[in-house]
Chain A
Amino acid sequence: MEGDIAQLGQFVGAGLAAIGSGAAAIGVGHVAGNFLAGALRNPSAAAGQTATLFIGIAFAEALGIFSFLVALLLMFAV
Chain B
Amino acid sequence: MGKIFFYAALALVLVSGLILAPEEAKLAIHPMDQFQVSALFGGDISWYTPTNVTAWMAAAVAAVFALLVLGSSRRAIVPGRAQSVAELAYGFIYKMVEDVAGKDGVKFFPYIMTLFMFIVMANFLGLIPGSFTTTSHIAVTAVLAALVFVTVTVVGFVKNGVGFLGLFWVSSAPLALRPILAIIELISYFVRPVSHSIRLAGNVMAGHAVLKVFAGFAAALGMFSFLPIFAITAVYALEVLVAFIQAYVFTILTCVYLKDALHPSH
Q: List residues of A whose CB falls within 8 A of some B CB.
A: 51, 54-55, 57-58, 61-62, 65-66, 68-69, 72, 76
Contacts and interface: CB of A to CB of B under 8 A. Distances in A.
Interface in B45-100: 96, 99-100
A68 B202 contact: yes
Nearest to B191: A62
Interface residues of B, number: 17
A57 B249 CA distance: 9
Contacts of B253: 55, 58
B249 A69 contact: no
Interface in B168-201: 195, 198-199
Nearest to B249: A58
A32 B129 CA distance: 31
Interface of B: 32, 96, 99-100, 195, 198-199, 202-203, 205-206, 245, 248-249, 252-253, 256
B105 to A, nearest CB: 13
Main SS of chain B's interface residues? Answer: helix
B100 A69 contact: no
Contacts of A62: 195, 198-199
The 7 A-B pairs at the shortest CB distance, nearest first, are namely: A65-B202, A58-B249, A62-B195, A62-B199, A65-B199, A54-B249, A69-B202
B198 A51 contact: no
A65 B249 contact: no
Contacts, number: 36
B199 A54 contact: no
Contact of A54 (B198, B206, B252): B252
Given A54-B249, A55-B252, A55-B256, A65 B203 contact: yes
B202 A54 contact: no
A65 to B, nearest CB: 4
A63 to B, nearest CB: 8
B26 to A, nearest CB: 20
A14 B252 CA distance: 31
Given A51-B100, A55-B256, A61 B199 contact: yes
Contacts of B206: 65, 68
A66 B202 CA distance: 8
A54 B248 contact: yes
